A = this chain, B = another copy of it.
Amino acid sequence: MGEFELLALLRGRLPAAGPQVRLGSGDDAAVTVPGGAVATSVDALVEGVHFRRETASLRQIGRKALSTALSDLAAMGAAAGEAYVWLGAPAEIGEAELLEVGEGLAAVAGETGTTITGGDLTRAPALSLAVTVTGHAPRPEDFVTRAGARPGDALVVTGALGGAAAGLLLLEDPLTADAFGPEDGPGTALADALRARQLDPTPRLAAGRALAAVGATAMIDISDGLAGDARHVAAASDALLLVDAEAIPLAPGLAAVARAAGRDPLELAASGGEDYELLAALPPTAVAAARQALAAIGTPLTTIGKVESTAGTPPRAEIRRRDGAAIPARGFDQLRPHRHR
């Protein structure tokens, strides 16, 4: 089977196109009529860098590639629109396996209302996906950037943090094998849920739109870790972000995994990354409405800190325990060779 036949097969598994799509995959380019403002982002997953095929299924790899790209749109408060996918695969990955990756992409597309309108398939030395996604809003000012956090704003976070880091430890660190007791014990479901946080994250699209609607002034998805992502918001907003470490909502099971691995659960929650929750700044008057809107879609929202003026000092984010000790703001660097991802 050649590239074109395989692309046609993959196309056959995709959900129906959204209303903005006039011409889908298969021509030189797809054609859309956005009718408003468009947010666009590109994200990539590479075997041996972001995942290992020993621990992630092909379907999960396809799912995660689209979900992590869509998470950037969630952080803009955008409605998911289209996706353009490059799939690079080594010769030893057969057609049936590539279709599994495609099924993962198609499943997330269906769940999120995304239309996969373009694809390119080439050989590559390792299984790789680069996904460009577009999201929509009526006007450009409807999108929430990282740049609008103001002194006095509350800092809120969706869901719970540290789950993806705990999942990675369960997958990679032998010390965590007994974190929840015997393999078929009552902790198995918890361990599975943590691994799923790492392997198959959920983009918070509805929560992002809800936070934008109630007036979020700045927003970012937590992909690099709370410390690093809060620093991005601080830099873009020229503000000081103060996070109360003990207020950070911790993923269920994180404490047990951290204990087994000899790690600090708070540090994992603050810098582990890949949780794909949203961190937003909100005027204090909007917090109640935000919590109510997110409760309606089943997403917890927790106030974890506040925005202050830099008062002339460099913009920065500080995550402090109540005893005053700072959680080290370890940045997340995909190019760091010793780190698996």
Contact = CB atoms under 8 A, between A and B. Distances in A.
A22 B33 CA distance: 18
Interface of A: 2-4, 22-23, 26-34, 36-44, 46, 48-50, 72-73, 75-76, 78, 82, 84-86, 88, 91, 117-126, 128, 130, 132, 134-135, 140, 143, 145-147, 219-221, 232, 236, 331, 333-335, 337
A117 B140 CA distance: 15
A23 B126 contact: no
Contact of A29 (B2, B40, B147, B337): B40
B122 A125 contact: no
Among A4, A36, A50, A121, the most chain B Cβ lie within 10 Å of the Cβ of A4
B88 A42 contact: no
Contacts of A72: 28-29
A122 B49 contact: yes
Among A82, A145, A337, the most chain B Cβ lie within 10 Å of the Cβ of A145
A276 to B, nearest CB: 12
A38 to B, nearest CB: 5
Contacts of A41: 28-30, 84, 118
A119 B26 CA distance: 25
B27 A335 contact: no
Contacts of A134: 40
B122 A86 contact: no
Nearest to A123: B49
Contacts of A27: 76, 145-147, 236
Contact of A91 (B73, B76, B78, B335): B335
